[in-house]
Chain A
C-alpha cells in the first residue's frame, strides 16, 4: 500500500513538473494579470459616469434601476423570459432598499464578487480547459506517450496521476483568480468591503421571489461560498477535458471540442428555456453561483441539487470512459 502511494506520488510529482515546464499555469496567470486590470478600468469608468449622475447616493441609483425595469415590463417587445429576470431583479433590489443595504458598495471585494459571478460559466472553465485539454493528447502529439506507457507502471496509475495533477491546478487556478482579482481591483476601488452584507437565499418560483429564507452574509463568506461552487464546476470541467484529451488524438481538436461545448452552454442558457431536456446537458448547469445570487435558472426545474447531480453524473461517466479507454486502447502512430 505504501509502495503504491509512493509510486502515485512520484507520478504526480512528475506530472506536476511537466505542467510547470509547459508554462501553461503561467499563461493562466498572465491572462488574469492582463484581463483583470482591463475589466477593473472599464468598471471604474462606468462607476465614474454613474457618480456624475447620482453622486454617492446609491439609493437613488437603485430606485432608478427598479423604475427603469418596471417600465420595460410593460413593453410587449420585451420577451417574457427577460421579464422574469427583471421581475426577480426588481424584487431583490426592493429588498436591498428595504433593509438599507447597498447591493454593490464600491470596493475591491464587491468587484471580485461580481466578476466571479460573471466568470463562473465561461471564463474560468476556459482557463481550466486550457490546462487540461492536452494533458494526454500532448503526449501523443509529441510521441512521449510511448515512453510513458512502456515504463513498468500500470496505465491506470498514469492516468490517475494526471487527473490528480489536473485537480491540483484547478484549485490553484480558482484561488489565483480570486487573489489576483482582489489585489488588482483593489488598486482601483480600494481593498475594503469584506464585512459588507450581501443577501443570499432568494428562492424563485417562476417570476415571484420567496423572501422567507433570505439572510445576510458578510461578503467574505459569500466569496468563500462562490469559490467552493466555482471549484466544483472547475473539477467537472477538468474531468471532462481529461476525457476528451484521452479520446481525441490531436490537442487542437480536443481544445476545439471543449471550447465549443462551453460556449454552446453559454448560448443555450440564454435561449433554451423552451427545450427543457437541455437541462441535462452539463454546460447548461455551470452557473452554480446563480443559486447563491438568486438569479432565475435558465430552464424550469433546475435547482442547486439538480445541477450538482447532473454535473456529478457527467463527471463520473467521463471518468469511467477515460479510464476504460486509456487502459485498453492501443498506441499506434
Chain B
C-alpha cells in the first residue's frame, strides 16, 4: 500500500469513468447525427425574445444602409461609403449617431433586394435605424454595363425599366412596413457614362426617367427623401468617380453624404427641431 498503489487506483478509476462517459457521448453524437431528434426550435429563442423588440428612442439618428455596391461603398478606398460618412458627419455636428449595419451587396438588383427584406437580420438592422439609406436600381438598368459592348435595345430597356420600377415601389413599401419611424433616404442614380460620348445620351435618358419615378415614390411615402446625385457627376466624373469609371471614389461618397446630411431632419435630444 504505497504511493504507487494510490496513484494507480486513482488513474485507473478516473480513466475508466472518463472512458465510459466519452463512449456514451460518442454513441449519442453518432445517433444524433444519423437519426436527428425532431426539430424543437420553437423553444430555443425564448430567452432572447424579450430583448428583440426594444424601444427605439425618439431622435435616433443611427444609420443603416441597404442596397447595391453604392450603399456598400465600392470604390471608396477607405471602405466607408456614404453610409459611414453620413454617420460621421452627423457626429461632427454633435449628433449622436452610429452606423447600425451596412447591408450593401455588390451587384444587388431590385429583384435581389425584395426577398432580402423578409430576412430577420435585415429587418432587425432596419428597425434599429433612425436613418435608412437606400441605393438600388443601377444594376437593373446597367446590368453588366462595365463590360457593355453595344447599346442596349431601346424596347428591351423600357420593359426592364417598367419591371424595375414596380419592384422599387414594393421595396419602399416593404421598408416602410418594417420601420415607419425612420427617415428613408433614396440615393438617386447618376449616369456613370457621362464621360463616354456614344452612350451618354441614352444613359442620361434612362437615369432621368428612373429618377423621376423614384422621386415620385419617395414623395408619396411620408418622411421619404430622394437625394439627387447626377449633377455631381455630370462635369466632375474625373474628380468623383473611382478608377472603374462606374462607382464613386472617396470624394464622391463624401459629396453624397454631405447632401444626405443637409437634407435630413435633425432633431436634438429633447425632440425639438434644430434651427
Contacts and interface: CB of A to CB of B under 8 A. Distances in A.
Nearest to A102: B48
B107 A74 contact: yes
B49 interface: yes
Nearest to A169: B15
A173 B15 CA distance: 9
A221 B125 CA distance: 32
B22 A171 contact: yes
Contacts of A213: 36, 39
A200 B38 CA distance: 11
A66 interface: yes
Contacts of B106: 71, 74-75
A62 B121 contact: yes
Interface in A176-206: 197, 199-201
Interface core residue of B21, B30, B44, B124 (most chain A CB under 10 Å): B44
B26 A63 contact: no
B33 A63 contact: no
A308 B30 contact: yes
B18 A171 contact: yes
A228 B22 CA distance: 5
Contacts of A75: 106
A63 B124 contact: yes
A70 B66 CA distance: 13
B29 A59 contact: no
A44 interface: no
Main SS class of interface, A: helix
A20 B30 CA distance: 33
A64 B102 contact: yes
A168 B12 contact: yes
A99 B44 contact: yes
Contacts of A174: 18, 22
A38 interface: no
Contacts of A94: 119-121
B27 A228 contact: yes
Interface residues of B, number: 51
Contact of B8 (A17, A221, A226, A232): A17
A231 B24 CA distance: 11
Given A16-B8, A101-B45, A200-B32, A63 B121 contact: yes
B11 A20 contact: yes
A229 interface: yes
Nearest to B31: A225
B250 interface: no
B247 interface: no
B40 A215 contact: yes
Contact of A60 (B11, B100, B104): B100
B15 A60 contact: no
By size class, the interface of chain A is: 35 or more
A291 interface: yes
A228 B24 contact: yes
B105 interface: yes
Contact of A172 (B15, B33, B40, B49): B15
Contact of A214 (B11, B41, B119): B41
Interface in B9-57: 11-12, 14-16, 18-19, 21-30, 32-34, 36-41, 43-45, 48-49, 52
A247 interface: no
Nearest to B107: A74
Interface core residue of B18, B23, B38, B128 (most chain A CB under 10 Å): B18
Contacts of B21: 175, 227
A216 B43 contact: yes
Contacts of A305: 34
B8 A201 contact: no
Given A20-B7, A62-B121, A174-B18, 20 more contacts: A13-B12, A17-B8, A59-B121, A60-B100, A63-B103, A63-B125, A67-B102, A71-B106, A93-B121, A168-B19, A175-B18, A200-B32, A213-B39, A216-B43, A217-B37, A224-B28, A225-B32, A226-B25, A228-B22, A308-B30
Interface of A: 12-13, 16-17, 20, 57, 59-60, 62-64, 66-67, 70-71, 74-75, 93-94, 97-102, 167-169, 171-172, 174-175, 197, 199-201, 212-217, 221, 224-229, 231-232, 291-292, 304-305, 308
24 contacts: A16-B8, A20-B7, A57-B128, A67-B101, A74-B106, A93-B121, A94-B121, A99-B41, A199-B44, A200-B32, A201-B32, A213-B39, A214-B39, A215-B37, A215-B38, A224-B28, A228-B23, A228-B25, A229-B26, A231-B25, A231-B26, A291-B33, A292-B29, A292-B33
Q: Sort A-B residue pairs by CB-CB distance and give the 3 closest, nearest first.
A: A228-B25, A228-B26, A225-B29
Interface of B: 4, 7-8, 11-12, 14-16, 18-19, 21-30, 32-34, 36-41, 43-45, 48-49, 52, 72, 100-107, 119-122, 124-125, 128
